[in-house]
Chains A and B, each alone.
Chain A
């Protein structure tokens, strides 16, 4: 425990120290040596510098909160006296090639009292037949039901309405859960106030640069944010591949709704804004398959971008009501800031730097800017990878992360936000599975 605390404290200390020095150096070069007198350059410099400070503050807050979360949440070692019934719901649409291995993976769960319900969402392949053929093998522990194609939300609701468990674990047919997931999640429900536990999603197919960059993003970007939110007990997205809920709470809140493209985010926001307590458990690991090609990544992020914005705008009335839950209100504003403002700021930053470099001859600042952000990413990656006992080789990808991945992902989110604001029509895209898991 002490070793762990020292490890965390040293990394955070290093981050703060390095960033402080870098910022001081940057400021020194900008203010003292370059003698910038042009008004445009001065204003641009202030805007870009303000953006940098906002980014640094955001990272520092995230790292501090995530550290506090880790310190406050040591592994829950004790065995449970009672294992309540849990129903695992696997919605599946055209997952024929992987459904059997998905069911076997789910059945491997190290938990004494659970059942699995496969909900076939009107597949045109043999998903349902394959799932149904496995029912006798597992006796009463496996159910396979089918419905006309209606989307993931309806499939999950259908599964919840058939569930016998007091708790439900909602996952994807293409994700694989670690065997300890249920035990680790159920421990949190000994607190009657806890209504849901968000799991930790990791990329399984780390086969090329794109999927490795996504692995880093999941660990550094998404899970770091979730751990920070968990400390405040204000999680904004319970990930689709790994979320455990009290069944009655989902029923009371209206189940999954299909009016956004991010049903998991919408459900979480409804829970959060109604004052329910959501926990994060980093040991509830779900391994999932990431897009291996740029076009597939684009579709996924476009859908996420629009879906999250839809979910925020759906709850826009809550943006103007800081009471009775000021922290929930702040988290909603933070989501809006990260979905729209941060993306726009990235673009404005690059544009201003371009103008400053071409027109003002202060291109050296661009390098300092990039170096500082990259250093920040490298240290944050080191912190997160150490925390999660992950492959440290991924740190090397933090350099490419800032250079290629962030501008690309931000551009996708920017286009998605524009399309959402202009109400451009959109269909539901499915990711082509490579069957890597």
Chain B
């Protein structure tokens, strides 16, 4: 296979990889913006709501986890 053809194919692969990562970065930024808004909204709703009454502790059905290592 000719080395020039390699270069062209390589360029296409690199552009695709970089493009995919940039697209992922864009998706991440959009996600962070939405998530920050959602968390702020939830925090505001919680601060407006009356203090919840703490529930009684559940009966000890499961044994507490103790790491063996």
Residues of chain A touching chain B, judged by Cβ–Cβ distance below 8 Å, are 148, 157, 160-161, 250-255, 257, 270, 273-275, 294-295, 298-299, 302, 315, 317-318, 321, 325, 347, 350, 353-354, 357, 363-368, 370, 403-404, 407-408, 411-412, 415, 425-427
Contacts and interface: CB of A to CB of B under 8 A. Distances in A.
Contacts of B20: 403-404, 407-408, 411
A295 B17 contact: no
Contact of A408 (B14, B24, B30): B24
A266 to B, nearest CB: 10
B39 interface: yes
Nearest to A409: B24
A298 B63 contact: no
B68 interface: yes
B68 A273 contact: yes
B38 interface: yes
Contact of B35 (A255, A294, A426): A426
Contacts of A415: 24-25, 28
Interface in B1-53: 3, 6-7, 9-11, 13-14, 16-18, 20-21, 23-25, 27-28, 30-31, 35, 38-39, 42
Given A251-B61, A254-B63, A411-B21, A367 B9 contact: yes
Interface residues of B, number: 33
A329 to B, nearest CB: 8
A309 to B, nearest CB: 16
Nearest to A275: B68
A299 B31 contact: yes
B63 A252 contact: yes
B27 A403 contact: no
17 contacts: A148-B55, A161-B61, A251-B63, A254-B62, A270-B65, A274-B67, A298-B27, A298-B31, A315-B67, A350-B14, A354-B18, A364-B10, A366-B11, A403-B13, A403-B17, A411-B28, A412-B28
A427 B21 contact: no
Contacts of A317: 67, 69
A425 B42 CA distance: 12
B20 to A, nearest CB: 4
A318 B11 CA distance: 44
A366 B11 CA distance: 8
Contacts of A350: 14, 17-18, 21
Contacts of B17: 350, 403, 407
